[in-house]
Amino acid sequence: MSAPRELTRAQLMPMADYAAVRRQKRSEATALKRVRRVSVGPFATFNFESFDTMWIQIHEMLFIEKGGEAQIAGELAAYNPLIPKGRDLVATLMFEIDDPVRRERELGRLGGVEAAICIRVGGHSVTAVPESEVERTDEHGRTSSIHFLHFPFSDEAIVAFRDPSQKAVLMIAHANYGHMAVLPDEARAALAGDFD
């Protein structure tokens, strides 16, 4: 049975009920996210999203911001696109650099990085498609520290991804950030569940 592909209002808990189980849900989410996190190079981290990661994200936004019923539609509209739809993987890419001076320098060198990301598996190259609601590289060539990426897989690439004998490599091929990482077995097994 495949994972749900969209969150609805009916799947959200009342905030009083969520408050009672929040600690447990956050602990579960931490364990889930740890498995679905892949670092590439010195400061790029891909967090591969799922129905469950978006469920917790929406509940956390509602709990923290306390916008009530009026906030729900906006949160569903914002986060539903980040749930895999059965033929793709979806990731939040973060460039994590603590030092603000270095962060500005590095982000200023990474313009267009969102167009230089792919997953290679079994002879297939699956190029990332960035969310298009906001331009992530500005007119000065500075990129954002956060990117939302979809990896649309063909049937053949899905078969290869599910085959543990085929190496799956997550790559950033930007002139100023050329790094790659083999997807760990645990992450790959979890991500395979995102496909129908």
Total number of domains in the chain: 1
- pLDDT tens digits in sequence order for the chain, 196 residues long: 567 899 999 999 999 999 999 999 999 999 999 999 999 999 999 999 999 999 999 999 999 999 989 999 999 999 999 999 999 999 999 999 999 999 999 999 999 999 999 999 999 999 999 987 766 777 788 999 999 999 999 999 999 999 999 999 999 999 999 999 999 999 999 999 999 8
User: Is residue 138 one of the residues assigned to a domain?
Assistant: yes
User: Is residue 82 one of the residues assigned to a domain?
Assistant: yes
User: Is residue 36 one of the residues assigned to a domain?
Assistant: yes
User: Is residue 179 one of the residues assigned to a domain?
Assistant: yes
User: Is residue 3 one of the residues assigned to a domain?
Assistant: no
d(CA 7, CA 11): 6
Contact assessment for residue 181 and residue 39, using Cβ atoms and an 8 Å cutoff: yes
User: Is residue 181 one of the residues assigned to a domain?
Assistant: yes
pTM: 0.92
Residue 179 burial (CB count, 10 A): 15
What range does the domain containing 158 cover? 9-192
How does pLDDT run across 49-64, given as a tens digit for each residue? 999 999 999 999 999 9
User: Is residue 2 one of the residues assigned to a domain?
Assistant: no
User: Is residue 90 one of the residues assigned to a domain?
Assistant: yes
Short-list 87, 77, 88, 70, CA closest to 54: 77
